Amino acid sequence: MRFKFPLMAIGLEVVMIVLFALFVQYETSVNTSRNPNETESAAMDVEKTMESYPFFQDVHIMVFAGFGFLMTFLWKYGFSGVGINLLIAALGLQWGTIIQGIFRSHGQKFLIEMKNMIHADFSTVTVLISFGAVLGKTSPVQMLIMTILEITVYAANEYLVFKILWASDTGESMTIHAFGAYFGLAVAGILYRSGLKEKHSNEESVYHSDLFAMIGSLFLWIFWPSFNSATADEAKKQYRAIVNTYFSLAASVVTAYACSSLLESRGKLNMVHIQNATLAGGVAVGTCADMEIPPYYAMIIGSIAGAVSVFGFKFLTPLFTTKLRIHDTCGVHNLHGLPGVIGGLAGIITVALEESDSTKTVSQAAALGSSIATALVGGLITGS
Amino acid sequence: MRFKFPLMAIGLEVVMIVLFALFVQYETSVNTSRNPNETESAAMDVEKTMESYPFFQDVHIMVFAGFGFLMTFLWKYGFSGVGINLLIAALGLQWGTIIQGIFRSHGQKFLIEMKNMIHADFSTVTVLISFGAVLGKTSPVQMLIMTILEITVYAANEYLVFKILWASDTGESMTIHAFGAYFGLAVAGILYRSGLKEKHSNEESVYHSDLFAMIGSLFLWIFWPSFNSATADEAKKQYRAIVNTYFSLAASVVTAYACSSLLESRGKLNMVHIQNATLAGGVAVGTCADMEIPPYYAMIIGSIAGAVSVFGFKFLTPLFTTKLRIHDTCGVHNLHGLPGVIGGLAGIITVALEESDSTKTVSQAAALGSSIATALVGGLITGS
Amino acid sequence: MRFKFPLMAIGLEVVMIVLFALFVQYETSVNTSRNPNETESAAMDVEKTMESYPFFQDVHIMVFAGFGFLMTFLWKYGFSGVGINLLIAALGLQWGTIIQGIFRSHGQKFLIEMKNMIHADFSTVTVLISFGAVLGKTSPVQMLIMTILEITVYAANEYLVFKILWASDTGESMTIHAFGAYFGLAVAGILYRSGLKEKHSNEESVYHSDLFAMIGSLFLWIFWPSFNSATADEAKKQYRAIVNTYFSLAASVVTAYACSSLLESRGKLNMVHIQNATLAGGVAVGTCADMEIPPYYAMIIGSIAGAVSVFGFKFLTPLFTTKLRIHDTCGVHNLHGLPGVIGGLAGIITVALEESDSTKTVSQAAALGSSIATALVGGLITGS
């Protein structure tokens, strides 16, 4: 048993190296040297792909520092939060590169661009969200397995949503946030039955663990405009996604603080709400961030998401634990699940109002349904 | 009383949404679809405005992580420092967008560019600086009111300085730093008389609160070159502002350490000096950072600012508390007030030496005077 | 004695200002105004040099926040780690600008570009690495002296490697990492004899000091692709350096976790390994990151480096202390020394396979030898 984790980790790394040797090649290596006429156009691609590098770095900070420190709020799990976060993300980005690349190239060799690296980082986010639901209930070995399985299901659903349904989801509210949350809840539901109740006593935050969690929370908040705009395919959409996310986030901070003070005894602010619900505006505006919506519309989405998220923490999470026997350690349902669904619904409404073609609206609805359904099924299978 | 904060916060957010619906529109929405001939030029604008996005992100880190964590150094106020910082900045950036936009468009609808977002973030900095002077003396409700009032006065003074006096202040040493510090000191002076002396016993830093404050201090230090160059209007000026700020900051670190060791018993370094005075070089070089000054001139400004700031912490702050009955919790006078004034003076001297036209010099002097005067008057009115 | 540190610091700052006045000028000041025909081309240069600014900022974060917080893992030295880090880097970047500029301009006046600022930040990294080996054994005065001496030796060796041998070392695995580690070990060896054994009892990490160290570790991890690509001179090389570093780092995380679990009692993960060995992949891929290697090759280098680094912490560091009487406080030999040598060797092998001309291979080997030799000699002299 002692050697299970190291052997599995090394085995997975060897598999990754073999898969990279088989499937991955450079933008500008054999292919360009074979045909000198293509050199010019290949060089152009490098310049263009490098334009996405600052967006990649912003997303990279969110994945490794943002999610990592957000999970340090429980004192007993502080180090395992940030440590296992790094392991999941480092393994996940390799597997995400491979599985997404194979889906898109239909099993051929493929080139690595900055966009592949952004998508690889994105794929790990689903696992990091689910990890928030099961923190303290799983071993490192289980997390290695969950990383491989969840990213595979994610890549399949993402291919369905973007390449078959042709739905819009630039900030991936549905395909990452709702997906990751419901996947994690399904796994947490299975693990609950295994009788892990006694661990709950470890769930205490202390003063400085809350400050460490604020590091994660703030870096997520700061870079969310980059997250929602990183994969937008033209400058105009990227610009709109940035502006809308900026104002949606600001609005969700104000309503989250207001609702937190409203619901807590003697009007005090609850730190868990501040760390999490302030981000709900970024999640919820994700699907329609790059659409032609006026900025005040983004602020309304953010305001609603901030409020709903606080109500979720206060009323839904305790209900989930007692009634549904699902214990959601970090409350990912309130930060990613509910706001992800709000994002999906806002996307459906926006498309229905903007586009005369109703098949577009149906695609959006199908994308939301598919994301939740594959997440629940995938999570239940993974948990078993 | 219990519902005062949540109701006021929600009310303000509703007002913001209504104002955005009335005044804010996109760079590329109705206007371009109305006139297809303008599409080309509008698309160009998007490309150009996106060039400022990395600078916006750097400033964004400073506002939300930098100032937030800098205020965690007092253990008792650690969470309220970083938490209220987020609330002020999130509300302030919405109001700043509106009030600055209305001033510049003379009450017409206006478009959001990256520069508007940078200016909106800038406007919140004034309140964050003033918050440092009154930390521990105010309630969240009072901070909401102060945010709205201070940003209004700031926008008026900024319009006067840049659009009527046509003065130079690229890093806004006068219009943000000196303004924010003196506004905060005026409010702190009023609040002192209200008899809040007993709170001072909470003013202790502990070992890890000082490390949390270093997170804020370092991120401010790292990105200050972006702060001073973010609004420069041509590449050459932006480049000069970066280089000058880089070396001015480095020089102020060395003299701040030297003076701290000189003044403390047994030559030890004082952590408050290290967290704050090392940044004085960035503040003081702000006004003339983009002018044609040789780099060693920037280093002299930084050296002086670092030293003056340490002396301020050691001798002026205690004097302010006992003699003037102004209690400056974070010592913002030493980090923003004095270095801001040094910056204003350095700007006057540089312009006087460079320009033959003496009206330019008078404009600079008028800008410094106006920034301090409006801050003091605004602060006294707000505090009452 | 009391005034030794402040007087030396102020003296050094005055020397820096004088040297800047003598040697440093702007890209676009006197030279362009003298000859109006050159204005066009000079303006082009500014645009081009500004393209490196995002890379500079990423490196800047690594130097000031990354290395600073990485050294907070020992509770007793937490503040001195991050505080002295800032002092060394602020002084070092000024001296590095001067000494590197003089070497390259052969004693003439020179212009400051973004690349100069990146190289200045790089030069301070050598001292920060060496500081990790001597943390807790030196006074601030000794660190001022070491900063000046080490950067001088570094600049000489760098000139030899890049401008005489014309070797490749884009991420400076040899010239920064191996150099800084062996320089520090040599100094630590000398200081050991001075009888500082009793200080070792301070070497304890506590739970939150490990979390602070993770801030440093993660920001280094996140931005390492920028470090290895910042000085690459064409877009294609920059792109390759980013991709290779990204995957090498990911691979080294997985093998470092596996080996840590393998070697620790009861399969637990060791926090020092997680903070340090996960970065070994970034160091080791540095020399050949921009060469035409397939990505799986980078992953093999990273996997080996992560494993070797953990073995180094477990077996070599205790051996160094007991047998060689060299006490390496932060274990820089395992994070920078060994992976730097692996990087140098990987560079030799890659060049030998790629280039038909064997003089290139000899140059690479000479560069590795020179970096280690000058480091050891320089360190022994500095320590005495």
Cβ contacts of B53 on chain C, cutoff 8 Å: none
The answer to whether residue A29 neighbours chain C at the CB level (below 8 Å) is yes
DSSP secondary structure letters along A179-230: HHHHHHHHHHHHHHHTT-GGGGGG----HHHHHHHHHHHHHHHHHHHHHHHT
Among B350, B345, B349, B340, smallest CA distance to B280 is for B340
| Chain-centre distance for alpha carbon A95 | 16
Q: Which residues of chain A have pLDDT under 50?
A: 29-43, 196, 198-199, 201
| B-contacting chains (≥3 CB pairs under 8 Å) | A, C
The answer to whether residue C111 neighbours chain B at the CB level (below 8 Å) is no
In the block, which residue shows the tokens 């291979």? C361
Please answer whether residues B281 and B335 qualify as being in contact, where contact means their C-beta atoms are separated by less than 8 angstroms.
no
The pLDDT score that the predictor gives to residue A44 is 53
The answer to whether residue B128 neighbours chain A at the CB level (below 8 Å) is no
> Domain map of chain B by residue range?
54-192+201-383
Cβ contacts of C72 on chain B, cutoff 8 Å: 211
**B78 to each of B72, B83, B213, how far by Cα in Å?**
4, 8, 9
Are residues B300 and C17, on separate chains, in Cβ contact within 8 Å? yes
The answer to whether residue A292 neighbours chain B at the CB level (below 8 Å) is yes
β-strand pairing of B24-25 with A110-111: unpaired
Are residues A17 and C300, on separate chains, in Cβ contact within 8 Å? yes
Distance CA C295, CA A29 (A): 11
CB neighbours (10 Å) of residue B312? 24
Query: Which among A262, A266, A278 has CB closest to B6?
Result: A262
CATH code for B54-192+201-383? 1.10.3430.10
pTM of the model: 0.92
The answer to whether residue A267 neighbours chain B at the CB level (below 8 Å) is yes
Are residues C214 and A68, on separate chains, in Cβ contact within 8 Å? yes
Are residues C235 and A46, on separate chains, in Cβ contact within 8 Å? yes
Distance CA C295, CA A15 (A): 14
Average pLDDT rounded to a whole number, residues C335-361: 89
Average pLDDT rounded to a whole number, residues C48-56: 89
Q: Would you give the end-to-end CA distance of chain B in angstroms? A: 20
Which residues 322-381 on chain A approach chain B with CB closer than 8 angstroms?
Answer: none
Distance CA A374, CA B263 (A): 65
Please answer whether residues C140 and C79 qualify as being in contact, where contact means their C-beta atoms are separated by less than 8 angstroms.
no
Which residues 246-265 on chain C approach chain B with CB closer than 8 angstroms?
Answer: none
Query: Going by C-beta distance under 8 Å and a sequence separation of 6 or more, which residues neighbour residue C323?
Result: none
Please answer whether residues C289 and C170 qualify as being in contact, where contact means their C-beta atoms are separated by less than 8 angstroms.
yes
Sign of CA dihedral C117, C118, C119, C124: positive
Average pLDDT for chain C: 86
Which residues 51-80 on chain B approach chain C with CB closer than 8 angstroms?
Answer: 54, 58
Is A44 in a helix, a strand, or coil? helix
- The C-alpha torsion from C374 through C377 and C378 to C380, rounded to 10°, is 160
Are residues C235 and A57, on separate chains, in Cβ contact within 8 Å? no
**Closest-approach residue (CA) in chain A for B58:** A222
Which residues 2-21 on chain A approach chain C with CB closer than 8 angstroms?
Answer: 2-3, 5-7, 9-10, 12-13, 16-18, 20-21
Cβ contacts of C112 on chain B, cutoff 8 Å: 243, 295
Cβ contacts of C238 on chain A, cutoff 8 Å: 50
- Which of A12, A17, A34 has the most C C-beta neighbours within 10 Å, making it the best mutation to test the interface with C? A17
Are residues A6 and C267, on separate chains, in Cβ contact within 8 Å? yes
**Closest-approach residue (CA) in chain C for A39:** C236
Among B204, C294, C46, smallest CA distance to A27 is for C294
Are residues C235 and A50, on separate chains, in Cβ contact within 8 Å? yes
| C-contacting chains (≥3 CB pairs under 8 Å) | A, B
> DSSP alpha helices (H): ranges in chain C?
4-23, 30-34, 39-50, 53-61, 67-70, 78-105, 114-134, 140-159, 179-193, 207-229, 235-263, 271-276, 280-284, 295-311, 317-319, 332, 338-354, 358-383
CB neighbours (10 Å) of residue B21? 15
* Distance in Å, alpha carbon of A153 to nearest chain C alpha carbon: 21
CB neighbours (10 Å) of residue C356? 6
Distance CA B338, CA A41 (A): 55
Please answer whether residues A129 and A332 qualify as being in contact, where contact means their C-beta atoms are separated by less than 8 angstroms.
yes
Please answer whether residues B298 and C26 qualify as being in contact, where contact means their C-beta atoms are separated by less than 8 angstroms.
no
Cβ contacts of B3 on chain A, cutoff 8 Å: 262, 267
The pLDDT score that the predictor gives to residue C203 is 58
Task: Please compute Rg for chain A using Cα positions.
Answer: 20
Please answer whether residues A327 and B45 qualify as being in contact, where contact means their C-beta atoms are separated by less than 8 angstroms.
no
Are residues A299 and B17, on separate chains, in Cβ contact within 8 Å? yes
Give the phi and the psi of residue C365 in degrees, each rounded to 5.
-65, -40
The pLDDT score that the predictor gives to residue C149 is 92
Distance CA A346, CA A351 (A): 9
**What is the value of ipTM here, to two decimals?**
0.90
Distance CA A349, CA C271 (A): 48
Are residues B253 and C140, on separate chains, in Cβ contact within 8 Å? no
Q: Would you give the end-to-end CA distance of chain C in angstroms? A: 20
The pLDDT score that the predictor gives to residue B347 is 92
Distance CA A251, CA A282 (A): 10
Please answer whether residues C78 and C218 qualify as being in contact, where contact means their C-beta atoms are separated by less than 8 angstroms.
no
The answer to whether residue A206 neighbours chain B at the CB level (below 8 Å) is no
Token pair for B84: 């209220």
Task: Give me the long-range contacts of C351-358 (CB less than 8 A, separation at least 24).
Answer: C351/C168, C351/C288, C351/C291, C354/C291, C354/C292
Average pLDDT rounded to a whole number, residues C30-56: 64
Please answer whether residues A269 and A261 qualify as being in contact, where contact means their C-beta atoms are separated by less than 8 angstroms.
yes
CB neighbours (10 Å) of residue C111? 18
Where residue C206 falls among pLDDT bands split at 50, 70, 90? low
The answer to whether residue A215 neighbours chain C at the CB level (below 8 Å) is yes
Among B288, B282, B304, smallest CA distance to B360 is for B288
Cβ contacts of B68 on chain A, cutoff 8 Å: 214, 218
Q: What is the DSSP letter of C320?
A: I
Across-strand partners of A57?
none
Cβ contacts of B82 on chain A, cutoff 8 Å: 211, 214, 218
DSSP secondary structure letters along A233-254: SSHHHHHHHHHHHHHHHHHHHH
Cβ neighbourhood burial of C264 (10 Å; 0-12, 13-18, 19+) = middle
Token pair for A329: 């350690």
Give the phi and the psi of residue C73 in degrees, each rounded to 5.
-70, -25
* Distance in Å, alpha carbon of B95 to nearest chain C alpha carbon: 30
Token pair for B48: 């150009």
Please answer whether residues B340 and B361 qualify as being in contact, where contact means their C-beta atoms are separated by less than 8 angstroms.
no
Are residues B222 and C5, on separate chains, in Cβ contact within 8 Å? no
Distance CA B6, CA A121 (A): 37
Percent of chain A's residues with pLDDT above 70: 90
Amino acid B185 reads L
Are residues B20 and A247, on separate chains, in Cβ contact within 8 Å? yes
* Distance in Å, alpha carbon of C247 to nearest chain A alpha carbon: 7
The pLDDT score that the predictor gives to residue B33 is 44
The answer to whether residue C236 neighbours chain A at the CB level (below 8 Å) is yes
Query: Which among A236, A254, A271 has CB closest to B43?
Result: A236
Distance CA A176, CA A52 (A): 20
β-strand pairing of B24-25 with B110-111: parallel
Are residues A218 and B65, on separate chains, in Cβ contact within 8 Å? yes
Where residue C30 falls among pLDDT bands split at 50, 70, 90? very low
In the block, which residue shows the tokens 């040598």? C341
* Distance in Å, alpha carbon of C300 to nearest chain A alpha carbon: 7
Q: Give one word for A166, left, alpha or beta, with left for phi > 0 and alpha for psi -120 to 50.
A: left
The pLDDT score that the predictor gives to residue A31 is 45
Q: Which residues of chain B have pLDDT under 50?
A: 28-43, 196-199, 201
Among C75, C211, C48, smallest CA distance to C136 is for C75
pLDDT digits (tens, 9 = 90+) for A156-206: 999 999 988 889 898 899 999 999 999 999 998 888 755 545 445 455 666
pLDDT digits (tens, 9 = 90+) for C130-160: 998 888 888 888 899 999 999 999 999 999 9
Amino acid A245 reads T
Amino acid C242 reads I
Query: Which among A20, A78, A86 has CB closest to C295?
Result: A20
The answer to whether residue A30 neighbours chain C at the CB level (below 8 Å) is no
Are residues B2 and A267, on separate chains, in Cβ contact within 8 Å? yes
Cβ contacts of B49 on chain A, cutoff 8 Å: 239
